[in-house]
A and B are shown apart, each in its own frame.
Chain A
Amino acid sequence: MTKQVVQISKVIIRFAGDSGDGMQMTGDRFTSETAGLGNDLATLPDFPAEIRAPQGTLAGVSAFQLHFADHEVLTPGDQPDVLVAMNPAALRANIGDLPAGGELIANTDEFTKRAWEKVGYAANPLEDEAFLQKYHVHPVALTSMTVAALQDIDISKKDAERAKNMFALGLLCWLYNRPFDATLEFLTDKFGKRPTILAANVAAFNAGWSFGETTEDFAIQYEVNPAVKKAGVYRNITGNPALAYGLIAASVQSGLPLLLGTYPITPASDILHELSKHKEFGVITVQAEDEIAGIGAALGASYGGSLGITTTSGPGVALKSETIGLAVALELPLVIIDVQRGGPSTGLPTKTEQSDLLQAMFGRNGESPVPVIAPKSPSDCFDAALEACRIAIEYRTPVFLLSDGYLANGSEPWLVPDASTFKVIEPNFATETNHVDKDGKDEFWPYLRDPETLARPWAIPGTKGLEHRIGGLEKANGSGAISYDPENHDTMVRLRQAKVDGIANTIPLLEVDDPSGSARILILGWGSTFGPIGAACRLAREAGHQVAQTHIRHINPFPSNLGEVLKSYDRVIVPEMNLGQLSMLLRAKYLVDIISYNQVRGMPFKSQGLADVIIEVIETERATA
């Protein structure tokens, strides 16, 4: 039958099922096909920490949301337009987000009495009149149709049932007119050595596609035109691989071999996985016995003239703190990547949060300043990693890079940069003595600083004539010999702080986005809230309000014009996925009465909620003016 084709400008789809249903893979594949069509997009995987929670339970629901459009997309979207629910648990866990009138594709085979009772439904929701009135429900016997489609393939019933996610993908690909080529290639790659499994997945996909084409239940096929984007070559990129690429780029640009010392931890492990695949760049990955050994190996490598990197999440940072302090004292380059997750303690391993900021700033003994920078989007993890390495190398200092679970697993299209435009990072190893002792003999002083940057010389083992000893004990300014002198300690503490403060001279001034040019309210964020804040500003502006937006990448030191920016607005709103950590820093440093807006739900902000906050502040200001 010929179906009606309708042009729409954006869609938000959420795939939800059991942890074992392959929802992340389904989402990834749909994303890949969508990216290839040139739509702009953003994704939000949302899965439990358990690898296989009990089947059919709310705890085991794994979901993947994708927002794609013919225009610029800033977030994965607040609410899905379409929900694919593979079982009653997936429905129950996600139906609250589906707006009235939203489309629901439900796998009816899984809606047995036992299954819907298990998650607390008193009756089958798909047979509930009020439910059917509220949502546009497409009941699809996904499992049995998949099994039927595979009857000619020599495969167990269980394996056949497992291909149902491909049926769902096929149906959705038909519905939104996505091509299948890349997925076919992907499946061939993945299952090439198991031809029957490959055949089953392909057949399931085709069956899903044909079902869409023939069933009367789906009367309309949709099309979303490509977004208008800057010319160039694009790819889809997830935050963790982008971050790994940024580290490799820094290694190439500095000529320093990269050594990652790390211990697996969610949600940072994928950076280890990615880096371990790139030995062609001379990358060494040491999967250490614990978090402390991971950073120890990285620091040891830095001492030897490598680019030492460690990756972790909040609990790992707690363990690494002492070594970070040592790196502050040794004044050696080191990059600590903290992919933040919900805390305290083990907290929410697979959920996002921004609550390690103060830990990164202050979580060490003594006056122990460490530069902190944060990427704002999955692709920005690349640039932020490159920048973190630049600061570490040029200033001989540990640097914190604060990513988070949302950036780590979320994805977006990326205009692939031209590698020939990346700046060279100059390690400037010391090769000559730099001081003359009282007897006129040339000697090397490891703490004789560069007068401009205050960075100390980095003389690596193997450099003749510059043999020296460094350690965690306080050092005499200049010579680096052990010193317990009160005056010297005071000097050294201030010098280390001044060195980090001075980095502000090399970072760009903060820019403010205010299309109206006359906004009196500023909304300021850091890290992964960039997308939701931007979308919220868009909503507020569409509603006729004026609001300025700015986003901080460098949190320590702050950009040098930050104080000025803050003071040029009547009110400043700072939304954070913590209880106000950046707000605390801003208030302390600039004495500005920040409006701190906080959520710690393990999920990114919804833009409508943020827009409501902005509008409320604007209206309150107007009323009290």
Chain B
Amino acid sequence: MSNFPSLSLVPAASEAQSAKDFKSDQEVRWCPGCGDYAILAAVQSFLPSLGLARENIVFVSGIGCSSRFPYYLNTYGMHSIHGRAPAIATGLAASREDLSVWVITGDGDALSIGGNHLIHALRRNVNLKILLFNNRIYGLTKGQYSPTSEQGKITKSTPEGSLDYSFNPVSLALGAEATFVARTIDSDRAHLQGVLAAAAAHEGTALVEIYQNCNIFNDNAWEPLKDSDTRDDLLMRLEHGEVILFGKDKGKGVTRTSEGHLKVVNVADVSSDALIRHDAHATDPGLAFALSRLSDVYSLENTPIGVFRDIQRPSYDRLVREQVAQVKERQGAGDLQDLITGNDTWTVK
């Protein structure tokens, strides 16, 4: 049995595993320096900690650079079509309680072409762990703006600057009432693996946004959050149950204005009981949503990372199984002859 209650129906590994066991024989073909390498290595070294039989883990991806991910993992995997991975994974998870199903997607795959499937997977709370690699650019089609690109971005398709306003994937997921929403960064392995562990433990859909660097078409998009000179000032590390304190010397906090909005303040300027304490388990997603709105699209000021929301709600696939079991309990297993005969017949002699 796995250490993760949400994975109790998935068979455990019969022997100890290492990261090496999760490396496939395929040559990795991302550009040198791509943030995907760091995520792949982090995932490969994280998976053994689940203690699951490798053959019961499935990675499903869509299309895009990140969606090549399944080829490099020695589990079951499907590289599907653009934007549809959550839909395909929904059918798989709904029909196989003994699998740990992961979806790999990017900002274009999940939020543009696949936006509909993403929000509905989140709403249904299917037992899927969705890793959304956000690099704010289209990489595989060579450099067009994406739905997370900041407005005004100069790209191949927007020489005068992009006009679209951007999506915040965390806000979107919370709006869809996702039961687990988190954000992490490709280069921070410890944080990334911590978030993955929390996602794996969660029953239902988990959305993990991973800030990932595309060094070819949008290099350094998240650099201020990584640079040791700036990151502490910008990053708001969320810990459930803890007062939100961030910035150099933990000098900044979050409070609620008289209009009810959240506002970043200097801790010294307010009384300590005015500071917001993070509650990832709150049933109402309002606080988590308000936190997700604090960050600045351009400067990346006040960017929360960590688990925004982690609540308990029965997963879709569990409810599916329970309904089937209830009907079988009530009526007994189906009899094909009875079904096709029905109860309105006549006999010709």
Contacts and interface: CB of A to CB of B under 8 A. Distances in A.
Most B Cβ at <10 Å: residue of A234, A296, A302:
A296
Given A280-B332, A293-B116, A322-B81, A232 B98 contact: no
Contact of A323 (B81, B119, B336, B341): B81
Interface in B6-39: 11, 24, 26
Contact of B87 (A234, A296, A303): A296
A552 B75 CA distance: 44
B95 A304 contact: yes
B336 A469 contact: no
B99 A461 contact: yes
Interface in A279-307: 279-284, 286, 288-290, 292-294, 296-306
Interface in A321-339: 322-323, 325-326, 330
Most B Cβ at <10 Å: residue of A37, A326, A465:
A326
A563 to B, nearest CB: 36
Interface stretch (B137-145, B177-185, B231-239, B323-331): B323-331
A536 B333 CA distance: 45
Interface stretch (A13-21, A46-54, A244-252, A575-583): A244-252
Interface stretch (B48-56, B261-269, B307-315): B48-56
A249 B336 contact: yes
B120 A462 contact: no
A469 B348 contact: no
A467 B91 contact: no
Given A35-B346, A36-B346, A293-B120, A467 B55 contact: yes
11 contacts: A233-B345, A252-B334, A279-B324, A282-B324, A292-B87, A292-B117, A293-B120, A294-B87, A300-B60, A302-B91, A417-B340
A475 to B, nearest CB: 10
B74 A234 contact: no
Interface string A477-500: 000011000000000000000000
A464 interface: yes
Contacts of B95: 257, 259, 284, 300-301, 304-306
Given A230-B348, A279-B324, A284-B324, A471 B79 contact: yes
A190 interface: no
A235 B186 CA distance: 63
Most B Cβ at <10 Å: residue of A294, A308, A464:
A464
Most B Cβ at <10 Å: residue of A235, A468, A471:
A471
B58 A290 contact: no
Given A38-B346, A231-B348, A284-B324, A297 B94 contact: yes
Contact of A235 (B84, B116, B344): B344
Interface string B117-148: 10110000000000000000000000000000
A-B CB proximity, top 6 nearest: A471-B79, A296-B87, A300-B91, A297-B91, A293-B87, A281-B334
A259 B26 CA distance: 32
Given A235-B341, A293-B120, A286 B91 contact: yes
A483 to B, nearest CB: 12
Given A230-B348, A278-B334, A461-B55, A300 B89 contact: yes
Nearest to A283: B324
B26 A38 contact: no
B222 interface: no
B257 interface: no
A417 B342 CA distance: 12
B84 A466 contact: no
A248 B113 CA distance: 34
B80 A326 contact: yes
A293 B96 contact: no
Given A289-B120, A297-B90, A304-B99, A469 B345 contact: no
Given A280-B331, A465-B55, A299 B91 contact: yes
B91 A308 contact: yes
B271 interface: no
Contacts of B63: 472
Interface of A: 32, 35-38, 182, 226, 229-236, 245, 248-249, 252, 257, 259, 261, 278-284, 286, 288-290, 292-294, 296-306, 308, 322-323, 325-326, 330, 382, 416-420, 422, 461-473, 481-482
B348 A419 contact: no
B76 A467 contact: yes
Interface in B63-94: 63, 70-71, 73-81, 84, 86-94
Contact of B117 (A286, A293, A308, A468): A293
B140 to A, nearest CB: 12
Contacts of A467: 54-55, 74-76
B94 A259 contact: yes
B334 A326 contact: no
Contacts of A252: 334, 336
A335 to B, nearest CB: 14
Contacts of A281: 333-334, 336, 339
B32 to A, nearest CB: 19
A308 B95 CA distance: 10
Nearest to A282: B324
Interface in B157-185: none
Most B Cβ at <10 Å: residue of A249, A261, A283:
A261
Contacts of A36: 344, 346
B159 to A, nearest CB: 30
A122 B248 CA distance: 89
Given A38-B348, A467-B74, 20 more contacts: A35-B344, A36-B344, A226-B348, A231-B349, A235-B345, A259-B91, A281-B339, A283-B324, A284-B94, A286-B90, A289-B116, A292-B84, A293-B87, A296-B87, A303-B78, A303-B91, A304-B92, A304-B96, A322-B84, A330-B78
B258 interface: no
B320 interface: yes
Nearest to B333: A280
B228 interface: no
A248 B336 contact: yes
A397 B57 CA distance: 24
A35 B342 CA distance: 14
Contacts of A230: 348
A233 B70 CA distance: 53
B265 to A, nearest CB: 41
Contacts of B56: 461-462
Interface string B174-203: 000000000000000000000000000000
Nearest to B118: A289
Nearest to A466: B55
A325 to B, nearest CB: 8
A180 to B, nearest CB: 14
A472 B349 CA distance: 56
Nearest to A330: B78
Contacts of B76: 461, 467-469
Contacts of B341: 233, 235, 416
A245 B340 CA distance: 7
Contacts of B344: 32, 35-36, 182, 235-236
A407 B332 CA distance: 32
A124 B96 CA distance: 65
A235 B58 CA distance: 45
Contacts of A278: 334, 339
Nearest to A464: B55
Contacts of A462: 11, 53, 55-56, 96, 98-99
Most A Cβ at <10 Å: residue of B70, B76, B99, B331:
B76
Contacts of B90: 286, 288, 293, 296-297, 300
Nearest to A465: B55
A492 to B, nearest CB: 16
A231 B93 CA distance: 46
A466 B58 CA distance: 12
Contacts of B73: 469
A419 B96 contact: no
Contacts of B336: 248-249, 252, 281, 419, 422
Contact of A288 (B55, B87, B332, B333): B87
